[in-house]
C-alpha cells in the first residue's frame, strides 16, 4: 500500500529530494538545493583528505605545535572558556601577563608602555598555540594537511509502485541524464509496510541507468517525457540495504565501545561495501 495521495501535486517530489539530501548529509555531504529547475535537484559538496581520501573535518582546529611538548598536536576544544590558555604579550619588550579581569581591557604594558595584545599559550610548555591544519579524520595515523573538494550533481526521481506493486514507475526526461561521471540518479520511494512508514533508495550512475533504460524510444528522445516502469528485481543491486547497513552499524559501535580497533575497521569496510551511497565518493 502506498500513500502518495496524501500529498498535493508537486509535494511528493520535493519530499523525495529532501529525504535523499538527508541521507547524503549523514555521509558528510554538504547539500544545496537549486532555487529553479535546472536539470539537477541537488548539488552536493564534500571535503576529503587528499592523501588517504578519508573524510576531512571542515573546521578550525588549534593545538600546541611544539614537538617537545606532551600536548603536541592534540586538538584543543572550547579554548574560549579555558582561562589557562589566555595571556597578553607586549609587542615591544615581550613581557607576558596572564589575562585576567583586571587587565583584560588594558592595552599598555606596565613595564615599558608598549602595546599589549592577546596571545594563546600552551599551559604545559608556554609556547604559542597555532592552527593545526591536519584535519584528516584519521589523524594522527594520517598527518596530511591537504584536502580536496568533491562536487556531485544529483537528479532525484520520486517513484510509485505500479503494475500491482511488481514494478516502480517514474517520469524521466532526456535532459535529466547529464553526460558526466559526477552526475547521479537516485530513485526514492515511500511505502507503508505492516503499519510502518518505510523509505527506499536506489543509487545509479549514468552508466547504471543506461543499462536499464532504453534510450531509443520516440517518447524519450522526441517528446522528452517518458513514463518508465522498472522491474524491482532489475533495480535490486542499486538498492540501499537499510537493514544490513544498520545491523553492521550496531556491531561497529559496539566494537568502538569495547575498544576493538581491528574489529571496528573491519566492520567499517563491510558497511562501506554495502552502502550504495558510497558510489558518490
Chain mean pLDDT for the chain = 89
The rounded distance, in Å, linking the Cα atoms of 12 and 32 is 19
Amino acid 8: pLDDT: 66
Handedness of CA 183, 42, 241, 200 (dihedral sign): negative
Amino acid 222: pLDDT: 73
| Run of H or E including 249 | helix 242-257
Q: Which domain holds residue 267?
A: 243-281
Q: How many domains does the chain have?
A: 3
Whole-model pTM? 0.80
Instruction: List the CATH number of the domain containing 200.
Output: 3.40.1350.10
CA 255 to the chain's CA centroid: 23
Residue 137 resides in a domain:
no
pLDDT in tens, 101-152: 888 888 899 899 999 999 999 999 999 999 998 999 998 899 999 999 999 9
Same domain, 37 and 79: no
Q: Extract the C-alpha cell encoding 169.
A: 514507475
Span 203-211, average pLDDT: 91
- φ, ψ at 86 (rounded to 5°): -90, 125
Q: Is the pLDDT of residue 226 over 80?
A: no
Span 51-55, average pLDDT: 93
% of the chain with per-residue pLDDT over 90 = 62
Residue 271 resides in a domain:
yes
Same domain, 167 and 43: yes
Which of 3-7, 30-34, 212-216 comes out lowest in average pLDDT? 3-7
Same domain, 159 and 202: yes
The rounded distance, in Å, linking the Cα atoms of 104 and 209 is 63
DSSP 73-129: T--B--GGG-GGGEEEEETTT--EEE--TTTTT--B-TTT--BEEEEEB-TTT-PBE
Residue 86 resides in a domain:
yes
- φ, ψ at 152 (rounded to 5°): -135, 145
The rounded distance, in Å, linking the Cα atoms of 178 and 155 is 9
The rounded distance, in Å, linking the Cα atoms of 82 and 85 is 6
Residue 78 resides in a domain:
yes
Amino acid at each position: 500500500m502506498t500513500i502518495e495521495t496524501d500529498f498535493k501535486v508537486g509535494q511528493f517530489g520535493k519530499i523525495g529530494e529532501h529525504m535523499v539530501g538527508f541521507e547524503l548529509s549523514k555521509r558528510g555531504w554538504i547539500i544545496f538545493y537549486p532555487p529553479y529547475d535546472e536539470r539537477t535537484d541537488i548539488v552536493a559538496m564534500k571535503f576529503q583528505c587528499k592523501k588517504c581520501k578519508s573524510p576531512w573535518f571542515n573546521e578550525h582546529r588549534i593545538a600546541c605545535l611544539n614537538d617537545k611538548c606532551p600536548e603536541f598536536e592534540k586538538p584543543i576544544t572550547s579554548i574560549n572558556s579555558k582561562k589557562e590558555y589566555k595571556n597578553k604579550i607586549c609587542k615591544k619588550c615581550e613581557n607576558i601577563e596572564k589575562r585576567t579581569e583586571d587587565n583584560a581591557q588594558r592595552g599598555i604594558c606596565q613595564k615599558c608602555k608598549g602595546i599589549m595584545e592577546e596571545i594563546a599559550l600552551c599551559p604545559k610548555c608556554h609556547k604559542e598555540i597555532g592552527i593545526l591544519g591536519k584535519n584528516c579524520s584519521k589523524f594522527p595515523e594520517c598527518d596530511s594537511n591537504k584536502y580536496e573538494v568533491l562536487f556531485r550533481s544529483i537528479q532525484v526521481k520520486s517513484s510509485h509502485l505500479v503494475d500491482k506493486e511488481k514494478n516502480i514507475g517514474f517520469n524521466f526526461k532526456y535532459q535529466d541524464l547529464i553526460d558526466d561521471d559526477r552526475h547521479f540518479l537516485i530513485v526514492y520511494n515511500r511505502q507503508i509496510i505492516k503499519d510502518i512508514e518505510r523509505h527506499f533508495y536506489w543509487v545509479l550512475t549514468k552508466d547504471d541507468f543506461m543499462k536499464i533504460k532504453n534510450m531509443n524510444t520516440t517518447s524519450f528522445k522526441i517528446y522528452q517525457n517518458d513514463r518508465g516502469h522498472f522491474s524491482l528485481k532489475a533495480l535490486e543491486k542499486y538498492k540501499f540495504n537499510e537493514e544490513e547497513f544498520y545491523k553492521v552499524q550496531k556491531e561497529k559501535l559496539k566494537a568502538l565501545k569495547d575498544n576493538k580497533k581491528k574489529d571496528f575497521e573491519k566492520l567499517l569496510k563491510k558497511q562501506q561495501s554495502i552502502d550504495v551511497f558510497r558510489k558518490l565518493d
